[in-house]
């Protein structure tokens, strides 16, 4: 009897040791949605998923309601309803803040580029300025969405919202296309026009690679 209890305890501890150690602050009301996720071994699993930021995805077993939080070191990618999330590396966001790994949602793929959205906690200083008169509450962090461009080769680039920063970040990627370069330099295209930028750049690439067509 004692031996059986010891074996069971060791098995339990082994399972606990293999569980992700990701800590997630959960809101009072959580809405899980059906999805699937791929672990590092390449295998896919189904479950009920919840994500509030790009730091972790919470997965609930629909049978026993057991939940576990997985970070970008545990999961390669996951699908939540119609949205695909994958791991991005070395994401530069507000100020000098950089995130080594995070989950980002696929928004639009065109040619050699993928447009993604990374949802993250707003820096505490900015949040304090926007907070209600009651002040900053660390239990209820404000969220911010950053758009990212992932080239097929090369580092990921954040898509800034201001005109000058947008021009400085996007011209090295798309400035060899005359139409895109002109519209960015004259302020006609900004962050909200990223799909137009990607589509125009892809069409220009196809034209220059096939000049007879």
Cα(20)–Cα(74) distance, rounded to whole angstroms? Answer: 7
Closest to 85 in 3D by CA, of 35, 48, 43, 123: 35
Residue 8 has pLDDT above 60, yes or no: no
- pLDDT at res. 62: 86
By the 8 A CB rule, do 76 and 38 touch?
yes
The pLDDT tens digits for 99-132 are 899 999 999 999 999 999 999 877 654 444 444 4
CA-based torsion, 37, 39, 42, 47: positive or negative = negative
Q: What are phi and psi of 103, to 5 degrees?
A: -90, 135
The pLDDT tens digits for 62-111 are 888 899 999 999 999 999 999 999 999 998 876 677 889 999 999 999 99
Q: With cut-offs at 50, 70 and 90, classify the pLDDT of residue 52.
A: confident
Residue with tokens 């302020």: 187
Cα(207)–Cα(48) distance, rounded to whole angstroms? Answer: 45
The pLDDT tens digits for 148-164 are 999 999 999 999 999 99
DSSP state of 123: P
């Amino acid at each position: 009897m004692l031996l059986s209890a010891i074996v069971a305890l060791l098995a339990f501890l082994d399972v606990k040791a293999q569980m992700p150690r990701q800590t997630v602050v959960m809101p009072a009301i959580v809405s899980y949605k059906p999805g699937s996720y791929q672990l590092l071994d390449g295998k896919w699993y189904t479950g009920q998923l919840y994500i509030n930021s790009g730091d972790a995805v919470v997965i609930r077993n629909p049978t026993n309601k057991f939940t576990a939080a997985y970070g970008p070191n545990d999961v390669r990618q996951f699908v939540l309803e119609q949205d695909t999330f994958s791991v991005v590396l070395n994401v530069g966001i507000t100020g000098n803040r950089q995130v080594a790994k995070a989950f980002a949602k696929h928004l639009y793929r065109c040619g050699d580029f993928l447009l993604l959205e990374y949802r993250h906690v707003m820096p505490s200083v900015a949040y304090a300025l926007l907070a209600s008169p009651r002040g900053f509450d660390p239990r209820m962090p404000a969220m911010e969405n950053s758009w990212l461009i992932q080239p097929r080769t090369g580092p990921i680039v954040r898509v800034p919202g201001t005109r000058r920063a947008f021009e400085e970040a996007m011209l090295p990627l798309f400035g060899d296309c005359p139409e895109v370069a002109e519209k960015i330099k004259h302020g006609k295209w900004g962050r909200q026009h990223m799909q137009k930028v990607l589509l125009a750049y892809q069409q220009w690439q196809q034209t220059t690679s096939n000049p007879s067509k």
